[in-house]
Chains A and B, each alone.
Chain A
Amino acid sequence: MDNLEKDITDSLAENTNIISAILGDSADINKREFSFGQLKGVCFFAAGLANTDQVSTIVRSFAVFGEHQDASGNRTIQAISRSLILNTSVETKTKINDGIKGILSGDTLVLLDGYKEYLLVETKGWDKRGVEEPSTENVVRGPRDGFTEDIRTNTSHIRRRIKNPDLRFDEMTIGDKTNTSINIAYLNGTVKKGLVEEIKSRLSRIKIDGVLESGYIEELIQDAPLSPFSTIQSTERPDKVSAALLEGRAAILVDNTPFALIMPSYFWEQLQAPDDYYNNFWMGTFFRMLRYFAFLTSVLLPSAYVMLISFHQEMIPTRLAFTIASGREVVPFPVLFEALIMELAFELMREAGLRMPKPVGQAVSIVGSLIIGQSAVQAGLISPFMVIIIAITGISSFAIPSYSTSFSIRLLRFPMLIASGTMGLLGFTCAFFMVMIHVLSIRSFGEPFFSPIAPFSASEHKDILVRVPWWAMVKRPRTASGELRRLGAGQKPKPPSTSEERHEGE
């Protein structure tokens, strides 16, 4: 494989042999030899990756050249590439290595007899999935386009939203075997100082054979690798990435996955949805509060219920205590066990519904809800209250917009449940505090994860618990560099003043 580092020679046959040897006789590598007049050459391209129309354009242009030109030796290869090739992008190279990489990413390598350089013509054109609505983060009001598997399509989504020369995509290649291209997107001059350098240094540390999804990168550069919380946000939505870039953050786009990574990421932002910013700010605030409530419910509700029922019966209002006691009258299990069974059943149903083909998935949910909701209660195995608690918990966890956060909550629920089921309020409080201490201690690319609540930053509270109207959101977060003001003065709409009106009337 030491051939890879070599330059090509001026013998066409020798060069062809070297490249054929490197690529082997892989079924998808095509070789197109041509000979027009005195011009002899070979095109190498990967079938399926290269657009065959583009490849034939190259060959056709050589055919025209060969018919009208008697001598080719007096032309430099630069002249050929300038005056001959009709394709959009052509490079002249000598190293074999570059050519092989080019072929494998869809370009066409053109070897010409008698030249010590070769042409690398961009002919990328493979089958792509169309732009579709993202499947994880749905919005009612807002753009419907989502990222796809193609990194250039994805960068184009962002570029379309931010038509600014400061928007940069820095390219890196990671994966010894896969050679996956990775783009770091940021707004030059706005991005937090030192962030891009930090990301690059973390990325360049990665030595891995392959990167098939952005999750690989996420786990390899995360600040808190053992935490159930993810300190890097993944999203399928270009508008979310664009908003993050405008706030002075950076994003990593990985080829072959629709999930981009946003960093640094804060806890609160994982409970915020793009809708919050597109709808009326009252609604945005209300839904945001609702989601915070859903977060608390989905983490704490089952544990609180188990704790009350098995340890602190005096804390339940009397009438409710009678009702709960009557529901549990025939249940043979301790409440902790009952809760664990139900939680597992719920997770099982969710997982099965997800993995099954869509038409069968419905059957799973019907059977599941019928068995769990109806029969288990009628048979006296589960108390109706527990079904309600688990249902509320489940619905709450679905209300969390970030998929990875809703997973971390699911995981936290079980230790919380066991702690409060065995030690009551003490266990409940201890477990909750342990989670809080952990969350407060982790960072995301130098930013405290729980910021701006802790450490407290008053100026950023316009966009945490509430969402103030756009005309009041004057500044970017303080982490951004450059000009922090994002809004002109006096943007609040108001009716024309009376003096102006009178003036117009005259």
Chain B
Amino acid sequence: MKVNKIFIVILVISLLSGCGKRQINELALVSAVGIDQGSSPNSVRVTVQVVRPADARGQTGAPAGGTGEPIYSVQAEGKTIFEAIRNLARFSSRRVYWAHNFIIVINEKFARAGIADMIDFFTRNPELRMNTWIAATPNPASEVVSTITGLEVVPGEAVDKLFRYNEIVSEAPRTNMTRLQESYLNEYTHPVLARLELKNRGISNKKPEEFGSLKQIELSGTAVFKHDKMVGWLNRAQSRALLLFIENVDSGIEVITCPDLPNQDATLEVKSQSLHVKPIASGSVPSFHVDVSSRVELSESGCLATFNEMRGYLEEQMGNRVKEQIESLLAAAQKKYKVDILKLGEIYENEYPSEWRRIRDDWEDIFPQVQITIDSRAELTSAVLKITKKKIPRG
């Protein structure tokens, strides 16, 4: 009987399969992972931040025992990352599950030694997602991962939101696994990673007089890599300039001293910035022309001058400020680290493919000598209706 055969096949399949699979509450859901150098130079220490669902949810309604902490952070060491992760199973009562990981934090020391095997592991494993954020930190990664930070119940989620909404300050690149791998696999462009740092920012409700007694994670700055090895940091201003090259910048502020009062400032809010790079093929060393235009608004002014009086001055200062930032970035990239993190090679390749083929093998040597001219303009569009002069008695 055909029906009987089908029935038997279904029965056998359903009895044989399904074993070994875990329900969602039998998994240790990792929300953040930190990678440090182990106790011996050749080993790696992996710290995982595991969500404790019963406590991460707040009021459960069901009897929830335990410490009340939303996360459970543990670490294990091994010669390779995978071995370290397997060693976690020695004390984790649940299977470590990576698919919901928010962020991978890499310690500076580990990064300087090279992250090739880490990129390989985190892209090879199908359980890991390519949209996981990656950041470097000068602090021990274990400390960053196990710190309770932000408003979210799960700290990993707080860092995730930090990345998602970081366009408000625009001080760190939004680097995830896809981007890291993309620039890692590209021979001529070098990777960058966002910088996470623990700072004493939080104020304890119980001891408000001890300012900054709680450590919080701050996202600001950039780590520069040469191939897979970290070579150094970029500061905030340089990171902002870098974002103009590799991402879009539509927010941020600049503080500029008043034209009439030396100890008073006007604050400009960036509404949009656009950067165009025009490569120029000339001889063996190409040159580039960078054209930046910024649209800003006046958002805070301590100056006596009216909007109309200040406008030209502010636009000029703003233009210069952006130019300075880019120059500082170029100095770091070309002179200090000697790595093309600006994707200039890519731009050149797209514009002049045949010329690029001639110079691409020497690009690492050519890049530091490349001439880059900068043209920066700013346009101050709105003063939000307050255009009259301030009336304060001179002291």
Q: Give me 6 other A-B pairs in contact (C-beta within 8 A), A422-B13, A427-B14 excluded.
A: A321-B24, A326-B57, A327-B60, A328-B23, A329-B54, A330-B64
B61 touches A378 (CB 8 A): yes
Quick check: is A311 within 8 A (CB to CB) of the other chain?
A: yes
Shortest distance from the beta carbon of A388 to any chain B beta carbon, whole Å: 13
B56 sits at the interface (CB 8 A): yes
CB pair B24–A316 under 8 Å, yes or no, is yes
Q: Find out whether the CB atom of A314 lies under 8 angstroms from the CB atom of B99.
A: yes
Cβ-neighbour of A314 out of B21, B64, B100, B157 (below 8 A): B100
The answer, yes or no, to whether B97 is at the interface (CB within 8 Å) is yes
Which A residues have a C-beta under 8 Å from some C-beta of B? 309-311, 313-314, 316, 318-319, 321-331, 334-335, 377-378, 380, 384, 418-419, 421-424, 427
User: What are the residues of chain A within 8 A of B127 when measuring CB–CB?
Assistant: 314
Counting chain B CB atoms within 10 Å of each CB, the highest count among A321, A324, A384 belongs to A321
Q: Are B25 and A422 in contact (CB under 8 A)?
A: no
Q: Do A329 and B157 touch across chains, with their CB atoms under 8 A apart?
A: no
- Known A309-B24, A423-B17; contact A325-B157, beta-carbon cutoff 8 A: no
Whether a CB of chain A sits under 8 angstroms from the CB of B241 is: no
Interface residues of B (CB under 8 A from A): 10, 13-15, 17-18, 21-25, 27, 29, 31, 51, 53-54, 56-57, 60-64, 97, 99-100, 102, 127, 129, 154, 157
Inter-chain contacts of B154 with A (CB < 8 A) = 322
Across the interface, B100 reaches (CB within 8 A) one of A321, A418, A427, namely A321
- Interchain Cβ contacts within 8 Å, total number: 94
List 16 interface pairs A-B (beta carbons < 8 Å), by A numbering.
A309-B24, A310-B21, A313-B27, A313-B97, A313-B100, A314-B99, A314-B100, A321-B29, A325-B25, A325-B27, A326-B53, A326-B64, A327-B57, A329-B54, A329-B64, A418-B14
Residues of A within 8 A of B100 (CB): 313-314, 318, 321-322
Bound complex: CA A318 to CA B29 (Å)? 9
Task: From the candidates A323, A328, A380, name the one contacting B63 in the complex (CB within 8 A).
Answer: A380
Q: Is the pair A323, B57 in contact by a Cβ cutoff of 8 Å?
A: yes
* CB pair A334 B51 closer than 8 Å: no
The answer to whether B24 and A313 touch across the interface, beta carbons within 8 angstroms, is yes
Q: Which residues from B are CB-within-8-Å of A328?
A: 23-25, 53
Complex CA gap A321/B14 in Å reads: 26
Of B17, B31, B51, B99, which is within 8 A of A422 by CB?
A: B17
Q: How far is the CA of A334 from the CA of B29 in the complex (A)?
A: 18
Q: Is the CB of B14 within 8 A of A423?
A: yes
User: Nearest chain A CB to B31's CB is how many angstroms away?
Assistant: 8
Specify the main secondary structure of chain A where it touches its partner.
helix
CA gap between A285 and B154 in the complex, in Å: 44
Check if A330 sits within 8 Å of B63, measured CB to CB: yes
- CB-CB nearest in chain B for A314: B99
B16's closest neighbor in chain A, by CB? A422
Tell whether, in the assembled complex, residue A329 and residue B53 are in contact, meaning their CB atoms are under 8 Å apart.
Answer: yes
The answer to whether B61 touches A322 (Cβ under 8 A) is no
- Cβ contacts under 8 Å, B25 to chain A: 325, 328-329, 331
Tell me how far the C-beta of B376 lies from the nearest C-beta in chain A, rounded to whole angstroms.
41
List the 4 shortest-distance A-B pairs measured between CB atoms, nearest first.
Answer: A314-B99, A326-B53, A326-B57, A325-B53
Per the bound structure, the CA–CA distance linking A384 and B18 in Å amounts to 24
In the complex formed, the residue of B with least CB distance to A328 is: B25
Q: How far is the CA of A380 from the CA of B27 in the complex (A)?
A: 18
Q: Report A-chain residues with C-beta under 8 Å of the C-beta of B57.
A: 322-323, 326-327
Assuming the contacts A313-B97, A322-B51, asked whether A421 and B61 have C-beta atoms less than 8 A apart, the reply is no
Q: Say yes or no: B27 contacts A423, CB within 8 Å.
A: no
For residue B104, give the distance in angstroms from its CB to the closest CB of chain A. 15
Write the nearest CB–CB distance from A338 to chain B, whole angstroms: 9
Contact (Cβ within 8 A) B14 A335: no
Chain A, residue nearest B98 (CB): A314
Which of chain B's residues have a CB closer than 8 A to the CB of A424? 21
Q: Are B14 and A324 in contact, with the CB atoms below 8 A?
A: no
* B27 cross-chain contacts in A, Cβ below 8 A: 313, 325
Which residues of chain A come closer than 8 Å to B29, judged between CB atoms? 313, 321-322, 325
- Knowing A325-B29, A418-B14, A423-B14, say if A310 contacts B56 (CB, 8 Å): no
Q: Do A334 and B23 form a contact, CB below 8 Å, given A325-B53, A326-B57?
A: yes
Assess the A330–B14 pair: CB atoms within 8 A: no
Contact A322 B53, beta carbon cutoff 8 Å: yes
CA distance A326 to B52 in the complex (A): 8
From A310, A380, A384, A423, give the contact of B24 (CB < 8 A): A310
| Closest A residue, CB atoms, query B160 | A318
- Closest Cβ of chain B to A419, distance in Å, is 7
Rounded to whole angstroms, the CA-CA distance of A423 and B11 in the bound complex is 11
Residue contact B62 to A335, C-beta cutoff 8 Å: no
Taking CB atoms, residues of chain A closer than 8 Å to B24 are: 309-310, 313, 316, 321, 324-325, 328, 335
**A319–B10 CA distance with the chains assembled, in angstroms:** 35
**With a CB–CB cut-off of 8 A, which chain A residues contact B18?**
310, 421-423
Are B51's CB and A313's CB within 8 A?
A: no
Check if A311 sits within 8 Å of B21, measured CB to CB.
yes
Rounded to whole angstroms, the CA-CA distance of A139 and B157 in the bound complex is 49
Considering the chains assembled together, what is the distance between the CA atoms of A316 and B129 in angstroms?
Answer: 13
Known A-B contacts A309-B24, A310-B21, A318-B102; the reply to A326 vs B60 at CB < 8 A is yes
A314–B63 CA distance with the chains assembled, in angstroms: 26
Q: Which of A313, A314, A323, A419 has the most CB of B within 10 A?
A: A313
Q: Give the Cβ gap from A307 to chain B, nearest Cβ, in Å.
A: 11
Query: How far does the alpha carbon of A328 sit from the alpha carbon of B157 in the complex, in Å?
Result: 21
In-complex Cβ contact of B23 among A323, A335, A422 (8 A) = A335
Whether A329 and B23, one on each chain, are in contact in the complex, defined by CB atoms closer than 8 angstroms, is no
Q: Please measure, in the bound complex, the distance between the C-alpha atom of A311 and the C-alpha atom of B63, giving whole angstroms.
A: 26
B76 → A minimal CB distance (Å): 22
How many angstroms between the C-alpha atoms of A330 and B29 in the bound complex?
16
Contact B14 A419 (CB under 8 A): yes
Q: Which residues of A contact B13 (CB under 8 A)?
A: 422-423, 427
Could you tell me the distance between the alpha carbons of A323 and B56 in the complex, rounded to whole angstroms?
8
Contact B61 A377 (CB under 8 A): yes
Closest A-chain residue to B129, C-beta based? A314
CB proximity of B171 to chain A, nearest CB, Å:
25
B105 to A: closest C-beta gap in Å: 17
Q: A318 CA to B21 CA in the complex, in Å?
A: 19
| B residues in contact with A423, CB < 8 Å | 13-14, 17-18
In this complex, what residue of A is CB-closest to B127?
Answer: A314
List, in ascending order, chain B residues with CB within 8 A of A418's CB: 14
Q: How many angstroms between the C-alpha atoms of A36 and B62 in the bound complex?
A: 90
Q: Are B62 and A380 in contact (CB under 8 A)?
A: yes
Query: When chains A and B are docked, how far (Å) is the Cα of A229 from the Cα of B114?
Result: 63
| A461 smallest CB distance to B (angstroms) | 35
Which chain B residues border A325 with CB–CB below 8 Å? 24-25, 27, 29, 51, 53
Across the interface, do B62 and A377 meet the contact criterion of CB distance under 8 Å? yes
Report whether B23 and A310 are in contact in the complex, using a CB–CB cutoff of 8 Å: yes
Query: CB-CB < 8 A to A319: which residues of B?
Result: 157
